[in-house]
Structure 1
Amino acid sequence: MNNWQLHQAVRILHQGGVLAYPTEAVWGLGCDPWNADAVRHILRIKRRPEHKGLILVAANMEQLHPLLAPLTQQERERIAATWPGPNTWLIPDPQGFVPTWVKGHHASVAVRVSDHPLVQRLCSAWGRPLISTSANPASYPPARDRLRVMTYFGSKLDLVVHGQTGGYSQPSTIRSLHDSYIIRP
């Protein structure tokens, strides 16, 4: 992604648009998590129920500070040992930092600090976390290339960022912070 494309992506995010972009293993859909209309657009085109919740992806731990600050030092160290990388943690959100349209019917929120250079550049330029959910309609396999993204969603997206996935074979592992239980291997 060149600088012009990065500028376009950030402009679209500010306007409430939806992007498709490559992540560690699959293509993702993203938008401003605090824009209810943008998040609900993603849920509509994916045919995903709001109650399931979505993942937030960040460039670094600083972007997730409001969620990480209330954790114990030991919890932060356990998370930091797996980031950046394809590891998503379910973290409590007792102070309501993340809107319900992102968390779904959960008291926790799924968060990841990506090690994908494009995702890091995008989140850094945006200045905060983005929604990151696999680019596929419910019950379809996740898109692993740009062509599949276009086949699934076409004109329903505001921008499909140029780039390649990070080479991992599986989407991020999802763990519960409470007990390190693996929800998705």
Structure 2
Amino acid sequence: MAQFFEVHPDNPQPRLLRQAAALLQQGGVLAVPTDSSYALVCQLDDKQAVERLRRVRQVDDKHLLTLLCSDLSQLANYARVDNRQYRLLKLGTPGPYTFILEASKEVPRRVSHPQRKTIGLRVPARKGLQMLLELHGAPLLATTLIPPGESAPLNDAQDIRARYEHAIDAVVEAGPCPAEPTTVIDLVPMATGSEPVVLREGRGSLAALGL
């Protein structure tokens, strides 16, 4: 039976999020609200938790997972970032953007793109998720919570609890999420002097990044 943590969206309770972080450190899979929708998350370096997350979401190892980081300095530990890329990242973090970058050796091979060795990274602005990341002390692997056979992500915590209470360890409820996905930008071309490539225009403003 999944635990249910009701967290205030603007003033999240550290006590509740410490309990959620403890579940993650024990190999748990949690549903958490992000800047775009609810996502399933687990520890990066826990192979069994990653496999379980994929089973719950019903995706194989070809489905790319995203790394949620607490800040830009943490992100830079898991991706190769040059000065041009860093300046653009600084404009978009924290915020509703997913950036594709070359993965560093800190990222397990099983969760990076098998051909390109890239990884999607986000620094969320959502307060509860930010606090959870800080309490956990490391990035979390994430995938948007879209039920098998459906196209839209789940955004109601009670619905998620009803559907997944026997499949995951906890749901963090912190009010509704926006229905709009993140803006996805591939920064890999910048490493060779080319321009970034917008893969999906979503909630994150391109103008704010000068694109």
TM-score > 0.5, shorter chain as reference: yes
Separation of aligned partners in 2, 1:91 and 1:82: 14
Equivalent in 199, 202, 209 of residue 183 of structure 1: 199
Separation of aligned partners in 1, 2:26 and 2:75: 22
Separation of aligned partners in 1, 2:119 and 2:111: 8
Deviation at 1:154, TM superposition (A): 2.1
Equivalent in 50, 55, 62 of residue 51 of structure 1: 62
Q: Which sits farther off after the overlay, 98-107 or 31-40?
A: 98-107
Q: How many residues align?
A: 182
Normalising by the residue count of structure 2, what TM-score does the alignment of the two structures yield?
0.80
Separation of aligned partners in 2, 1:12 and 1:92: 30
Residue 174 of structure 1 corresponds to which residue in structure 2? Answer: 184
Separation of aligned partners in 2, 1:139 and 1:26: 17
Q: Is the CA contact (8 Å cut-off) linking 1:50 and 1:104 kept in structure 2?
A: no
Normalising by the residue count of structure 1, what TM-score does the alignment of the two structures yield?
0.91
Structure 2 CA distance for partners of 1:57 and 1:162, relative to 1, 3 Å: same
Separation of aligned partners in 2, 1:120 and 1:152: 25
Q: Is the CA contact (8 Å cut-off) linking 2:78 and 2:105 kept in structure 1?
A: no
Give ranges in structure 1 of 5+ residues lacking alignment.
none
Residue 204 of structure 2 corresponds to which residue in structure 1? Answer: none
Q: Is the CA contact (8 Å cut-off) linking 1:54 and 1:104 kept in structure 2?
A: no
Q: Is the CA contact (8 Å cut-off) linking 1:19 and 1:161 kept in structure 2?
A: yes
Residue 119 of structure 2 corresponds to which residue in structure 1? Answer: 109
Give ranges in structure 2 of 5+ residues lacking alignment.
1-6, 8-12, 190-194, 202-211
CA-based RMSD of the aligned residues comes to 1.6
Q: Is the CA contact (8 Å cut-off) linking 1:24 and 1:165 kept in structure 2?
A: no
Separation of aligned partners in 2, 1:51 and 1:174: 18
Report the 3-state secondary structure (helix = DSSP H, G, I; strand = E; otherwise coil) of the residue aligned with 1:50.
coil
1:23-34 correspondence to structure 2 within 5 Å:
23-34=34-45
Separation of aligned partners in 2, 1:48 and 1:104: 14
